[in-house]
Chain A
Amino acid sequence: MASASGEVVVGPMEICTQVNKFLKGTSSSGGNVNLESLSSSALFLLRTVPVARHAVLEHYSLLFDDAINSSLSFSDRVPRDVRGHQKLQLSALQDVTGVLLSFIKSSPEAWAPVVSSWTLTLLGQLSSKYASKRGIQHATSLNEVLQMWLACEPAKMLMEISTECFAAMVGAAPDMCVDTLLETSVRYSPHFDWVVAHIGSCFPRTIITRVLNCGLKDYCNDGGPDKDSGPSTSRLKVPKMASVVGILGHLASKHGHDIRKALMALFEASLHSDAMSSKVTTLPFLLQLASMSDMLLQILTTDLVCVLTPATLNQLHRQFTHWKRASPGDYNSFLNLVVHLIVKSKIGACDIICFVLNTAVPTEDTKGELPTEEVRETCAEIMHILMFELQRGVLSTKSDLRAVEIPLLVGLASQTHVLTNMLIAADGRRLSWLQKLLTYTALHAGQSCAASILASIICSAETLKQLSNFYKVKQAIEVGIPSVLQPAVQQVFNRLEALAASPPVDGQEGQPPATKVPRLHAQASPTTGDGVSSLPNKPSSHLSQLVALRNLERITAAEKRKIKKKQISSSRLVKELQKHQASMVRFLLFPEASVQRCALSLVHMVGFPASLGPALLTELAGAVACVYFSSVQRKAEQPSPRPDKPAAPGGKNKRKCAEKKEPERDKGNSASCITRLCMCCIDQLSSLPFTRSLLLHYLVEGATSKDHCHLFGGKWTMSLFEPPSSSLSSAGAQVMVDPAATEGSLITDSNSLLNENRQQGNSIALPRFHSSVYHGGVIRQIVKVASSSKSLPKSQVSANVLALVETLWLCCREFPQATQAQLPQWGAPASGLEAGAAPEVKAPVMDTDMRPKQATVSESSARTLGCVIVDILTLDSLYNDVNWQDPDFRKVTTERDILVWKRLADMPFLWSILQEFSSSCVFLYYVSPVLRSLVAVVMNHLEVSREAKMKSCAQHYEAAVRLVYCLTQGRWIPPPLSNVSELFPYVTPYEGYLLLLALWRYIKDKPPSEFEAEIKERTCDSSHMLIVNSIIHANIGHMGHLCARMFNM
């Protein structure tokens, strides 16, 4: 190949012949010149005849076209001759490429523009010409197209040349070459895109900046927002913008960062530029760009929003004021464009909304410069338009039934928690906007999102005002998604459970001080066993759970109120909540009183339909009982100066009390409130037979348990209630024992003197002296157990007892008509409490006339209660025969009797229960063994007592009076005989013994019966009155006034 300087020797004749040869070769007619010589003459002309360069380049365009055609057509199977031809072609092309490259290198200023425009045009033509060729048409992505073309040798050469040209020109005249590139791109779009992409990736930074600048310049010249841009100019404007967008789009994947920087630099420059036009046009230009490409939109939404501080906005406002006044139409379309872009932005949607909201209505804690009034108004306007657009979008989606995706709402759907938090904190205009926004998001995203929005509101609203958002949003959402409530409730509970399941932060070692969580017996409520122990101790989770529960409670209360006012027939919410009773049980057993209270109130309001299933109901019963005792205990722990109102004045008042709970933070009050709610629940639960009997079990067993008995004035004596041969009854008594406490008791057990004595007794057969029989123990070996550590004021004890009895009564009462419609109106039939109850407590109880008079103790409850009490008080069931044997038989059962006596002495409140329910003959029938034992003990004592008066043996005297009262109530002893208790103050102990003996004999003759009718018919014949008569006679001096009570006169 001759070098460029080789032309010196070339004569004019040579040139002429070469020109002629070239012309001959290229002319359509004379195609005789072979390719090689034609090519050589073309190269010759290119090197020596400047004026022929265009012609030569044109010739080579054809050649390139041909070569690309053949290389695309026969890339696989090529005939030999064609391959030879192809080779020749390629080598010719390679030659010209080499020459051109050397030209560009030696004098870039002269050659680069010429060659660059030639290659670009040629590439454009060829790529659009062969766009539908095999292989290319199937390539969908730009990358594939690029690969496709670069695999084609001639195209690669062209690309190499144009890249080289660019490299040569970019330094000197970048604007020009980018302009050329853009124009070509516009003309041959979209087939030309791969060229731009390739060149762009070679000079990313320059291309990006320049392309943006060119686009901006074009935009300015074509009018921008300044002029009235008619339809024709805007049509012209679009393709250039489109090619700008297209190029940036190609470069985005690899050079996104550069694009980002370039865009921001453009914006910054517009802020600080002096030229009015660029100030006003840059932002619309950027927005226009963004509207044409999602990628650019994303960049703008993420970066621009960060840059637009209030100060910047104010400045922009100043810049745009004039323009806005000048062309209001353009301004409106600009606003619409902004709204359109907001609607389109998916990523960063939340940031944008936050930005607009914060600008429209700045929050108080905004620092620095505030946006001016006009800026705020503008943002508000944008918000309004946006709301309108969204509404239209969402509603049209609904009507069409086809999913038109609104990217903004899609983006927001993943960020609803942020929006919800904003909503909670919002007020004024923000509030309504956010409500609408959330509603549209929910409607758009569907049920689960809607549910999570509602759930979030429930979980985070702290005031009633904030909670009111729930109603508004819910109402709006239910228009589109009627069944949203069910998943919403589900989500609330999911979150609550997630909170509960989250591991405690402070680890295992520190047992929280307030873990007085009573643990249910495994038999009683199998499922709660583990749940209770794994309750979290995080204060934060407590708080959030509390918030959610309280909100649920409020909502439910409102629903209930509506039901009551007959505004709605049934509440869907309540029905939904019923499905989640199981979860609520967990919260019942929460150590936090407030959480407990809320859960309890909810459980109460939701109610206990039989559809809940026995397992759940059992669990509920157990939990309610637990809560009941824990609340009583908490109340006892309060240093409450006035434990007033232990008994409820009435059902309605009680509910009011529950509702206005929030303001009063008094723990004692809250505890009593919980107690009352428990009673309501118990009342409701006891409408079912099996829960009723369960509750009776739990209540009585709980009251007699080690942990709670002191609340009711009882005391726990280890030896009495836990005999070494632990029987069934003792297991029953142990129901509610804290595991830790049980463990502790075992430790003391091992050191107990009793055990040691027993061992000693078993060990060696020593002579039985006093000292050898009784081992006094080692002094100061263990600390003496403080027995009376838990003692409560008497008034509180009696209040508690009263409440317990009241609660039991709730379980036992039965209405002849079974009218459950009357909601919890209960009261204690405390008419027989003279002996046990403190006088000051009596007064309010007596006033409770509101309880239905017709209420009676149901038979089944009475049976259960009786059995439970017998279970607790007696050693075993060996001699627990209902019928009373011969009085002398009591000598056999002395030990058992004494045990009953002692136990009853430890648990004095059982007396109250006995007395309370003695009116039921069924109850009395079942507690008959206990009564018998008690009578036996009293008789044994009186028989041998040396006191002058029976009254002097105070305990036994009192017990005798109570026993007679009970027997009378249950009509076991008919009237004349039943009045013997009036004689007791005047008789000697032995006479008292005789009187009791008479009663015993009567009962033995007329054995106890379950059937009231049978008992009612019983009369007392005179044989049983003989002893009574003789005693009256013997003491007629001071008993004369009582003759009328004993004799028919």
Chain B
Amino acid sequence: MGENILGRLFRLSFPDCTREALSFLTSYISQDCPAIPGLNANTEQVIVEICQEFVLFQSNRGPPKKLSSVQELNLLDMICTCFKEAPEKSKYRIFNLMFGAHCNGSGNLLTKLVSLALSTRCAPVLFCVAIWMQERDSLSNDVKCLTHRLVSDYCLLYPDPSSVFCKLPAVSPLFACNFITSATSYYSFGGADSLPPLSLLQHVSDWVGQDNTVCCESLRQATVHHAYTTPVPGLTGWCVRGPLVCSQLLAQAKSSTSTAGLAKGGLDMQTQVASLLACLDKLHLALLQSLVFSACVNLSPGLLSAGDLAHITHTLTAVRPLQGDRSADSRDEESAALGVALDRLAQILQVASGTRTYISDRGKIKEMESIARHKLPHNRLLLMVLKQQLQASSSYSPPS
């Protein structure tokens, strides 16, 4: 039958052959991979070939067929439908068959599929992709690439807030969680070249603010899938570095407007930075709430680690520009921004340690303290929190 189905599919033209192939795959996988009658042991290979030839269109025989854009849309639609209709248990297996093993060629198609799934709120696909992301590690390049495409599709093409993104946590919280993780790593907020788009930041702050569980979704899945990454370190990085980078941007914009007289650009920049800062404020609060929430639901600690915080402290020193050729005005603004950043860091550390949602490490805390003492301006709150952490850890550590 395997040979038969291949032969039959090859005789069909595009939409039909794919439809046939998809239904065949679904039914086949749903039936727990029965041995196909009349076929030898390598049924697995036939399945893979069908998937390659008629779904991904990466033919091993002859030249690959090039689909037109409309046909591609049709294909994506069919895949979405297929996922919707497939039984729950076999969804991820089908997904894995299509996109699991080989990502390089099908990455493009996957991106489009996710994009369409977002538009049509196709939860099954999003769920599968979320798992895929988690398995791949949300910080890996494939995932970052996907995130970037999605951001450009939904945040850059249309400047207005996308309804798709607004309701994303409701549709697929795990996807939203992993998406945030990879977005925070792709747009690290470490300078003018890695700013997250404003609409993305707005969406993220909305998500985290409206639903405190979003950040915990991947941690929650950690019981199923061993690997996990949480968006909390990245979001902390945004909240802490954000004010400092924004103040720098403002200073640059001011100097450029004062010299070149580009008043319009400068104004645009100012409003953009102001809304960024507002979002960050909101995000910071949401983050703290999420930490508190995660303590309530008794998840194992792991949203944040001392190492993450130490890393953020490091980056803070790197982001901080050299003192010197600055006007007193901008220096004041900057030190204020730095104060805010350090305060936030201290708050997050305090809340995390208070709710015990973070993985403590005395060495890292010590490292942070030395940085805070020597390389950063004095911040009483941070130093106090750090001191307390050190004491706590020393008091805890003998028994442990």
Question: Could you list which residues of chain A lie within 8 angstroms of chain B, going by C-beta atoms?
Answer: 4-5, 7-10, 12, 15-16, 19-20, 22-23, 26-27, 47-55, 57-59, 103, 106-107, 109-111
* 13 A-B interface contacts by CB (under 8 A): A4-B160, A7-B162, A8-B160, A23-B73, A27-B15, A50-B154, A51-B73, A51-B115, A53-B157, A55-B72, A55-B73, A58-B68, A107-B159
Distance in angstroms from A898 CB to nearest chain B CB is 116
B156 is an interface residue with CB less than 8 A from chain A: yes
Q: Which residue from chain A places its CB closest to the CB of B114 in the assembled complex? A: A51
Task: Give chain A nearest CB distance to B235 CB in angstroms.
Answer: 25
CB distance from A870 to the nearest CB of B (A): 111
A20, A26, A49: the one contacting B116 at CB < 8 Å is A49
Q: Are A58 and B119 in contact (CB under 8 A)?
A: no
Knowing A57-B69, A59-B70, the reply to whether A50 touches B157 (Cβ < 8 A) is yes
Within 8 A of A (CB), among B69-87: 69-70, 72-74, 76-77
User: Mask for B108-125, Cβ within 8 A of A = 1, else 0?
Assistant: 000010011001111000
Chain B residue nearest to A19 in the complex (CB): B77
Given A12-B121, A15-B120, A51-B115, A110 and B156 contact (CB-CB distance below 8 Å): yes
> In the docked arrangement, what's the CA distance between A549 and B73, Å?
93
Closest 6 CB pairs of A and B: A50-B153, A51-B115, A54-B69, A12-B121, A55-B73, A55-B69
The answer to the question of B317 belonging to the interface, with a C-beta cut-off of 8 Å to chain A, is no
B interface bracket (residues with beta carbon within 8 Å of A) = 20 to 34
How far is A679 from B158 in the complex, measured between Cα atoms in Å? Answer: 109
Closest residue of chain B to A8 (Cβ to Cβ) is B163
In the bound complex, residues from chain B placing their C-beta under 8 Å from that of A52 are 73, 116, 119
If A52-B116, A106-B159 are given as contacts, then 8 extra A-B residue pairs at C-beta distance below 8 Å, sorted by A number, are A8-B163, A12-B120, A12-B121, A49-B115, A51-B76, A58-B68, A107-B156, A107-B157
Most buried by A among B72, B73, B156, B163: B73
Residues from chain B with Cβ under 8 Å of A103 in the complex? 157
Contact (Cβ within 8 A) B70 A26: yes
Q: Does B256 contact A (CB under 8 A)?
A: no
Q: Given contacts A15-B120, A58-B69, is CB(A23)–CB(B158) below 8 Å?
A: no
B74: chain A residues at CB < 8 Å are: 23, 27
Q: Which residues of A contact B112 (CB under 8 A)?
A: 51
Interface check B391, CB cutoff 8 A:
no
Whether, in the assembled complex, B388 has its beta carbon less than 8 Å from a beta carbon of chain A, the answer is no
Q: Complex formed: what's the CA distance from A342 to B158 in Å?
A: 57
In the assembled complex, which residues on chain A have CB atoms less than 8 Å from the CB atom of B77? 19-20, 23
Q: Are B116 and A51 in contact (CB under 8 A)?
A: yes
Question: What per-residue 1/0 map shows which CB atoms of B13-25 lie under 8 Å from chain A?
Answer: 0010000000000
For A9, the chain B residues whose CB sits under 8 A away are: 163
Look across to chain A and name the residue whose beta carbon is closest to the beta carbon of B154.
A50
Q: How many A-B residue pairs have CB under 8 A?
A: 78
Q: CB of B194 within 8 A of chain A?
A: no
Residue of A4, A5, A51 near B153 (CB, 8 A) is A51
A49 to B154, CA, bound (A): 9
Chain B interface mostly: helix
Residue in B70, B122, B156, B162 whose CB lies within 8 Å of A58:
B70
In the bound complex, residues from chain A placing their C-beta under 8 Å from that of B76 are: 51
CB distance from B121 to the nearest CB of A (A): 4
Query: CA of A607 to CA of B226 in the docked complex: distance in angstroms?
Result: 124
B252 interface hit (Cβ, 8 Å): no
Residues of B at the A interface (CB closer than 8 Å) are 15, 68-70, 72-74, 76-77, 112, 115-116, 119-122, 152-154, 156-163
Chain A residue numbers with a CB within 8 Å of B15 are 27
Contact call B72/A5, Cβ cutoff below 8 A? no
Q: Which residues of B contact A107 (CB under 8 A)?
A: 156-159
Task: Report how far A19 CA is from B76 CA in the complex, Å.
Answer: 11
Known: A50-B119, A51-B119, A107-B157. Is A10-B163 also a contact (CB below 8 A)?
Answer: yes
Whole-angstrom distance between the Cβ of B399 and the nearest chain A Cβ: 54
Chain A residues closer than 8 Å to B153, beta-carbon distance:
50-51
- Most A CB within 10 A of own CB, among B115, B116, B119: B119
- Contact between A55 and B159 (Cβ–Cβ < 8 Å)? no
A932 to chain B, nearest CB (A): 121
Q: A48 touching B69 by the CB < 8 A rule?
A: no
Q: Contact check, A19 vs B156: say whether CB atoms are below 8 A apart.
A: no
Contact A109–B116 (Cβ < 8 Å): no
CB distance from A11 to the nearest CB of B (A): 8
Complex formed: what's the CA distance from A50 to B116 in Å? 8
Can you name the residue of chain A whose Cβ is closest to the Cβ of B68?
A: A58
Least CB distance from A1015 to B in Å reads 124
Closest to A61 in B: B69
Contact at B115–A50, with CB atoms within 8 Å?
A: yes
Checking A16, A57, A106, A110 against B152 with a beta-carbon cut-off of 8 angstroms, the contacting residue is A110
Give chain A residues whose Cβ lies under 8 Å from the Cβ of B68: 55, 58
Which residues of B are found within 8 Å of A106, using beta-carbon distances? 159
- Most-contacted residue by chain B among A5, A50, A52, A103 (CB, 10 A): A50
Complex-state Cα separation, A15 to B162, whole angstroms: 14
Distance in angstroms between the alpha carbons of A26 and B156 in the assembled complex: 28
Closest to A3 in B: B160
**What distance in Å separates the Cβ of A101 from its nearest Cβ neighbour in chain B?**
15
Closest A residue to B115 by beta carbon equals: A51
- A7, A15, A109: the one contacting B156 at CB < 8 Å is A109
A50 contact set on B, CB distance < 8 A: 115, 119, 153-154, 157-158
Bound state CA distance, A49 and B164, in angstroms? 10
Which single member of B73, B152, B163 contacts A19 (CB below 8 Å)? B73
Closest residue on chain B to residue A51 by CB atoms: B115
Identify which of A26, A103, A109 gathers the most chain B CB atoms within 10 Å of its CB: A26
For B171, give the chain A residue with the smallest CB separation: A12
CB distance from B341 to the nearest CB of A (A): 29
Identify the interface centre among B69, B154, B161: most chain A CB within 10 Å of its CB.
B69
In the complex, chain A residues whose CB is within 8 Å of the CB of B158:
4, 47, 50, 107
- Chain B: minimal CB distance from A100 (Å): 12
Query: How far is A8 from B161 in the complex, measured between Cα atoms in Å?
Result: 8
- Tell me the minimal C-beta distance from A771 to chain B in angstroms: 116
Q: Return chain A residues, CB-CB under 8 Å to B120.
A: 12, 15-16, 19
Considering residues A8, A51, A110, which has the most beta carbons from chain B within 10 angstroms of its beta carbon? A51
- Complex interface: chain B residues within 8 A of A7 (CB): 160, 162-163
A15 touches B119 (CB 8 A): yes
- Residues of chain B within 8 A (CB-CB) of A23 are 70, 73-74, 77
Most buried by A among B15, B121, B157: B157
Q: How far is the CB of B66 from chain A (nearest CB, A)?
A: 12
Inter-chain CA distance A15–B122, complex, in Å, is 11
A358 to chain B, nearest CB (A): 48
A51 to B119, CA, bound (A): 9
Q: Which of A5, A22, A49 contacts B160 (CB 8 A)?
A: A5
Please indicate the chain B residues that have their CB under 8 angstroms from the CB of A49 in the complex.
115-116, 119
In this complex, what residue of A is CB-closest to B112? A51
* Cβ contact within 8 Å between B157 and A111: yes
Docked pose: A15 CA to B73 CA in angstroms: 13
| Set of chain B residues within 8 Å of A53, measured between Cβ atoms | 157
Q: Please give, as numbers and ranges, the residues of chain B lying within 8 Å of A47 by CB-CB distance.
A: 158
Q: How far is the CB of A57 from the nearest CB of chain B, in Å?
A: 7
Known contacts A19-B73, A51-B153, A55-B70: A12-B159 contact under CB 8 Å:
no
- A109: chain B residues at CB < 8 Å are 156
Smallest CB separation, B358 vs chain A (Å):
37
Known: A5-B160, A7-B163, A107-B157. A48 touches B70 (CB 8 A): no
Instruction: Determine the chain A residues whose CB is within 8 A of the CB of B69 once the complex forms.
Output: 54-55, 57-58
Cα(A106)–Cα(B158), bound, Å: 8
**Closest chain B CB from A983 CB (angstroms):** 131
Q: Smallest distance from the beta carbon of A12 to chain B beta carbons, Å? A: 4
Whole-angstrom CA separation of A445 from B112 in the bound complex: 70
Task: Give Cα distance in the complex from A109 to B158, angstroms.
Answer: 11
Report the minimal beta-carbon distance from B69 to chain A, rounded to whole angstroms: 4
On whether the beta carbons of B73 and A48 are closer than 8 Å, the reply is no
Nearest CB of A to B28, in Å: 26
Task: List the A side residues contacting B119 at CB < 8 Å.
Answer: 12, 15, 48-52
Q: How far is the CA of A457 from the CA of B12 in the complex (A)?
A: 88
